[in-house]
């Protein structure tokens, strides 16, 4: 594992307040780092605060205490269903080129070349550039959403349940794609899932979260073979296949 750190989260507490309700604490003293080139898993039951943590890392949670320190430029998020984040009125080629129009000095021909390279890199053919998001399957949309992150130069990706909406065969393909891109490009991922089997197949290390707190953290093999916290044991026992 590299000593270089891409993200540090230090003693983070976060809060939500719905109108007329008391301020409610979601994340409780959360601290961890993501190293360059590693896949760090974050696992925990629904409602434990996984999405809140990912949103906080990207600056979408305003009411928090503690520190979030980014050591890479432009971290990007890949969501469970990217459909809502893909402009329905535009073709995939246009969508992929859009960040380059704003952030790159490349001319039209060079931008087109980058878009064509990227669509192939995520395992789709150039024909897909002429399609609309609605004309893609869930797995293909997920490939496009990974391509959007990479074309913006992001080398740290926060993937929030990226394969949870896909059936098992497609899950496997997207996981393999993410791993091969990670190896080729030295990417780092914070990979969020409620599925322990998926975490086991993808990740180098894992953080286990319960009620907004980290209860266990360690190398994947170590945590899965010798879980220390009763909650980790319970999660592992209820997920039989791994
Ligand atoms: N915008 C919000 N306003 C108020 N409370 C919220 C808001 N978003 C999340 N919460 C609360 O924060 C807690 C953590 O939610 P969060 O979505 O982070 O959990 P999660 O672990 O990602 O769950 P899931 O796996 O079901 O997506 C929950 O109790 C939820 O009700």
**pLDDT tens string 230-241:** 999 999 998 865
Q: What 3-state class would DSSP assign to 33?
A: strand
Q: Are the C-beta atoms of 14 and 61 separated by less than 8 Å?
A: yes
Between CA 238 and CA 221 the distance in angstroms is: 18
User: Domain extents for the chain?
Assistant: 1-75+155-241, 85-153
Per DSSP, what are the bridge partners of residue 191? 41, 159
pLDDT of 53 higher than 90: yes
**pLDDT tens string 176-230:** 999 999 999 999 999 999 999 999 999 999 999 999 999 999 999 999 999 999 9
Q: What 3-state class would DSSP assign to 85?
A: helix
Between CA 102 and CA 116 the distance in angstroms is: 18
pLDDT of 42 higher than 80: yes
Q: For the beta carbon of residue 134, count every other beta carbon within 10 angstroms.
A: 9
DSSP state of 84: G
pLDDT of 168 higher than 80: yes
Question: Given ligand 1 and candidates 15, 43, 47, 235, which is best to mutate, with the most ligand atoms within 8 Å of its CB?
Answer: 47
**pLDDT tens string 76-86:** 999 887 777 78
Structure tokens at 181: 């891109």
Angle, CA of 8, 10 and 12, to the nearest 5°: 125
Lowest mean pLDDT among 71-75, 115-119, 140-144: 71-75
Question: Given ligand 1 and candidates 51, 60, 195, which is best to mutate, with the most ligand atoms within 8 Å of its CB?
Answer: 51
CA-closest candidate to residue 189, choices 166, 209, 210, 163: 163
Which ligand 1 atom is nearest residue 51's CA? 22
CATH class, 1-75+155-241 region: alpha beta
pLDDT of 164 higher than 60: yes
Q: In the structure, what pLDDT confidence band is assigned to residue 20 with cuts at 50, 70 and 90? A: confident
In this prediction the ipTM stands at 0.93
């Amino acid at each position: 594992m590299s000593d270089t750190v891409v993200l540090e989260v230090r003693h983070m507490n976060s809060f939500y307040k719905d109108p007329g309700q008391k301020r409610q604490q979601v994340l409780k003293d959360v601290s961890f780092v993501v190293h360059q080139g590693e896949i760090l898993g974050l696992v925990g039951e629904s409602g434990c605060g996984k999405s809140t943590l990912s949103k906080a890392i990207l600056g979408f949670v305003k009411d928090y205490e503690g520190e979030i320190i980014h050591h890479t430029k432009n971290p990007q998020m890949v969501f469970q269903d990217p459909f809502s984040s893909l402009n329905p009125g535009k073709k995939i080629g246009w969508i992929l080129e859009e960040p380059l129009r704003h952030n790159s000095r490349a001319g039209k021909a060079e931008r087109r070349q980058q878009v064509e390279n990227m669509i192939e890199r995520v395992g789709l053919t150039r024909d897909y550039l002429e399609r609309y998001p609605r004309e893609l399957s869930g797995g293909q949309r997920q490939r496009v959403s990974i391509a959007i992150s990479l074309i913006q130069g992001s080398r740290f990706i926060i993937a929030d349940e990226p394969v949870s909406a896909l059936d098992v065969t497609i899950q496997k393909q997207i996981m393999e794609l993410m791993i091969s891109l990670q190896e080729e490009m030295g990417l780092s991922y914070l990979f969020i899932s409620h599925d322990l089997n998926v975490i086991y197949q993808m990740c180098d290390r894992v953080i286990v979260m319960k009620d907004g707190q980290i209860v266990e953290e360690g190398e994947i093999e170590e945590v899965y073979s010798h879980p220390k916290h009763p909650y980790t044991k319970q999660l592992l026992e209820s997920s039989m296949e791994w």
